[in-house]
Amino acid sequence: MKNKKITLLALAFLALLVQVVLPGATCEAGMESEKSPYPAVAPLNQYLIPDRNSEIALARSAAPSSISDGAEVLVLGRAGYATAVEGKNGFVCLVERSFGAATDFPEFWNPKIMAPICVNAPAARTYLPAVVMKSKLVMAGRSRTEIAQAIQSALNRNELPALEPGAMCYMMSKQQYLSDDAKCWHPHMMWFIPGDAAKSWGANLPGSPAIAANDPEDRMTIFLVWVGNWSDGTPAPQDMH
């Protein structure tokens, strides 16, 4: 694997956009840099998907249909995320936007970012609340600084839950757009672990398939592992250098 420093949504998303050593790729369609390409929030309608059914389909594309067909689906509206489809298997699918990331991500306001993600029940209970909270703050017109302060305050007061063991997600959509550099990148799975845990997983070491990025703002480590196919079962490119 060639080392190339890019910014990647680990959305969530993220949180989701963190700096990590990864190979970049395109497919079907930290501290803030000195000059952010997206210095301010865009008009809110640029973050919304006008057609509800299209957003539901995009959210479901995060995982194989055997998982996503039975999942709850959230869609983003002017008050934040809301349930569009009730689920029956404990998974929750949604399309994370740029503001699912840590607030110091240079593309925090990038309206092009669309990151379909499908989380399991532990992640739905303990990872998604911060994502939902950020979306409400954005839609309410809060600044990046205010959002960061609100998240830290909620964590300090235990108003956001601690991550449960086994919290994970699928990000296997061909249609994902994770950042202007990463674009669609590669289908992958992610795990959310409290604190800085990369060493204990042997992540980022030569020959290790585990990739990790520490997200201090959300107080977790995000682990990523490539998978060979997109959610529709078609093979993903293997040469990602």
Tens of pLDDT, residues 139-174: 999 999 999 999 999 999 999 999 999 999 999 999
3-state secondary structure of 14: coil
Phi/psi at 170 (nearest 5 deg)?
-110, 140
CA gap 61, 51 in Å, rounded: 16
Region 4-9: mean pLDDT is 32
3-state secondary structure of 231: coil
CA gap 231, 1 in Å, rounded: 23
- Cβ burial 1-36 (10 Å sphere, 16+ → b, else e): eeeeebbbbbbbbbbbbbbbebbbbebeebeeeeeb
At 173-220, the pLDDT tens digits run 999 999 998 888 899 999 999 999 999 989 999 999 889 998 899 999
User: Which of the 8 DSSP states describes residue 46?
Assistant: G
Which pLDDT band, with edges at 50, 70 and 90, does 32 fall under?
A: very low
> Domain spans of the chain?
5-226
pTM of the predicted protein model: 0.86
pLDDT of residue 237: 83
Contact 68, 124 (CB under 8 A): no
